[in-house]
């Protein structure tokens, strides 16, 4: 009943092009932000932080990054895991080489480094498209993981070949390392997720975003209109890798604490983030969050239901989870190939007229 455009008149173009044009949406958004920053840090515990909120926020950042590349600019990438590894190893090298550097700078610098690597691997996109580009980025995935496995300099010549994050604090609160408080970790990731989502929304609503989408929808026409394809594609690769790199850095420093490239950043990770983007909705910031939530929450929910409510054996439940998650992915893609974001938009459109659809 409150979900109405009627009577909500826009008198300027700025008001008309805002992110949440409907008052109800706007207030819900403020509410979610307020709850995220003001309420959750006080009630969070280790389980909620490690099993749900941290992976959700970090994967959401990675999904936004990949969505910029795949959903907005139309360049398929299977190298997400490799680029996350670049972020993770950059943050590791920075943390160990410059112990006085604060975590915010380290994380941002990791993103910058990944952006540079991403642009280098994005160069083939100027020549090739679609599946062929996907294979080229797949090469990036395997090459980067091989590099981090084989070159001892990257893991500081440690015997195990693993990297582990030393304890670093921000404003007197440890955010990495085993002693870090769950609420500190959560807030640290939340600030990044919020800021990056906001920046992504700004980029995609303006002329940069339109250049990306023009390249996605029809590259020849885009060029004739005045889009420089080189700049548009490489900037998409740069921004996307920046996001993915930050996600990788947070994944390693805050979430895992210790990582080994093959298992933490392997090809499965690339596919996982790609699934999030596809299920959430290509070309939608909200979709990136929705997809990340879906892929992170569903297994947790299923475990709790199968072992908790049905009393199944936990090994059986874990295997059965794969079947159910896979089936649900297929179901979603058949019912709504444009993802959760489109379902959400359709629901809102229906709600706007409810209860008088005619």
Name the residue nearer to other proteins (CB basis): 9 or 310.
Answer: 9
Q: Closest approach of Cβ 128 to other proteins, in Å?
A: 19
Q: Closest approach of Cβ 129 to other proteins, in Å?
A: 16
Pick from 58, 66, 197, 222: which binds other proteins (CB under 8 A)?
A: 222
Q: Closest approach of Cβ 68 to other proteins, in Å?
A: 12
One-letter-per-residue 3-state SS of 316-354: HHHHHHHHHHHHHHHHHHHHCCCHHHHHHHHHHHHHHHC
Sign of the CA dihedral 129, 132, 136, 137?
A: positive
Distance (Å, whole) CA 73 – CA 172: 41
Name the residue nearer to other proteins (CB basis): 34 or 195.
Answer: 195
**Which residue pairs from 18-27 have beta carbons closer than 8 angstroms and sit at least 24 positions apart in sequence?**
19/201, 19/205, 22/352, 25/348
State which of positions 266-285 bind other proteins (CB under 8 A): 283
Name the residue nearer to other proteins (CB basis): 108 or 328.
Answer: 108
Q: Closest approach of Cβ 170 to other proteins, in Å?
A: 23
Q: Which residues are within 8 A (CB) of 245 and not within 5 positions of it... i.e. 6 or more apart?
A: 83, 84, 86, 87, 90, 110, 111, 112, 113, 114, 115, 117, 118
Pick from 168, 216, 233, 269: which binds other proteins (CB under 8 A)?
A: 216
* Contact flag: residue 26 with other proteins (CB under 8 A): no
What element of type H or E holds 163? Answer: strand 163-164
Name the residue nearer to other proteins (CB basis): 145 or 227.
Answer: 227
E strand intervals along 169-211: 169-170, 173-174
Pick from 41, 229, 257, 262: which binds other proteins (CB under 8 A)?
A: 229
Distance (Å, whole) CA 252 – CA 70: 24
* Contact flag: residue 352 with other proteins (CB under 8 A): no
Strands 173-174 and 169-170 turn out to be antiparallel
Name the residue nearer to other proteins (CB basis): 319 or 348.
Answer: 348
How many residues belong to the site for other proteins (CB under 8 A)? 30
Q: How many CA atoms lie within 13 A of 189 on its CB side?
A: 31
Residue 10, helix vs strand vs coil: coil
Pick from 95, 213, 246, 256: which binds other proteins (CB under 8 A)?
A: 213
Q: Closest approach of Cβ 339 to other proteins, in Å?
A: 13
Sign of the CA dihedral 310, 313, 318, 320?
A: negative
Pick from 130, 166, 178, 206: which binds other proteins (CB under 8 A)?
A: 206
Stretch of residues binding other proteins (CB under 8 A), selected from 127-135, 180-188, 213-221, 316-324 = 213-221
State which of positions 5-24 bind other proteins (CB under 8 A): 12-14, 17
Q: Closest approach of Cβ 352 to other proteins, in Å?
A: 13
Q: How many CA atoms lie within 13 A of 201 on its CB side?
A: 15
Pick from 105, 158, 162, 207: which binds other proteins (CB under 8 A)?
A: 207
Name the residue nearer to other proteins (CB basis): 200 or 249.
Answer: 200
Task: Count CB neighbours of 106 within 10 A.
Answer: 21
E strand intervals along the chain: 163-164, 169-170, 173-174, 258-259
Binding site for other proteins (CB under 8 A): 12-14, 17, 199, 202-203, 205-208, 210-211, 213-214, 216-218, 220-229, 235, 283
């Amino acid at each position: 009943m409150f979900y109405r455009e009627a009577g909500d008149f826009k008198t300027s173009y700025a008001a008309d092009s805002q992110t949440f044009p409907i008052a109800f949406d706007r207030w819900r958004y403020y509410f979610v932000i307020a709850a995220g920053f003001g309420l959750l840090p006080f009630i969070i515990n280790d389980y909620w932080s490690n099993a749900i909120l941290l992976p959700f926020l970090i994967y959401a950042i990675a999904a936004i990054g990949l969505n910029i590349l795949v959903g907005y600019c139309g360049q398929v990438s299977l190298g997400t895991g490799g680029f996350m590894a670049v972020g993770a190893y950059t943050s590791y090298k920075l943390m160990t080489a410059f112990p006085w550097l604060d975590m915010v700078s380290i994380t941002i610098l990791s993103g910058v480094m990944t952006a540079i690597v991403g642009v280098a691997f994005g160069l083939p996109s100027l020549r090739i498209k679609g599946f062929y580009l996907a294979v080229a980025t797949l090469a990036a995935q395997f090459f980067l993981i091989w590099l981090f496995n084989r070159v001892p300099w990257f893991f500081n010549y440690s015997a195990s070949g693993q990297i582990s994050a030393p304890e670093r604090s921000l404003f007197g609160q440890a955010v990495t390392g085993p002693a870090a408080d769950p609420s500190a970790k959560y807030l640290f990731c939340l600030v990044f997720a919020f800021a990056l989502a906001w920046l992504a929304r700004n980029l995609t609503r303006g002329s940069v975003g339109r250049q990306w989408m023009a390249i996605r929808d029809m590259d020849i026409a885009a060029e004739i209109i005045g889009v420089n394809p080189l700049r548009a594609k490489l900037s998409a690769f740069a921004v996307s890798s920046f996001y993915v790199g930050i996600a990788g850095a947070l994944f390693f420093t805050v979430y895992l604490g210790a990582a080994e490239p093959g298992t933490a950043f392997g090809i499965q990770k690339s596919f996982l983030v790609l699934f999030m983007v596809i299920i959430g909705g290509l070309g939608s910031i909200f979709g990136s969050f929705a997809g990340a939530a879906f892929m992170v929450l569903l297994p947790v929910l299923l475990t709790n239901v199968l072992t908790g409510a049905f009393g199944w054996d936990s090994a059986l439940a874990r295997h059965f989870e794969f079947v159910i998650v896979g089936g649900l992915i297929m179901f979603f893609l058949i019912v709504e190939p444009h993802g959760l974001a489109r379902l959400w938009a359709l629901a809102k459109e229906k709600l706007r007229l409810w209860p008088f659809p005619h």
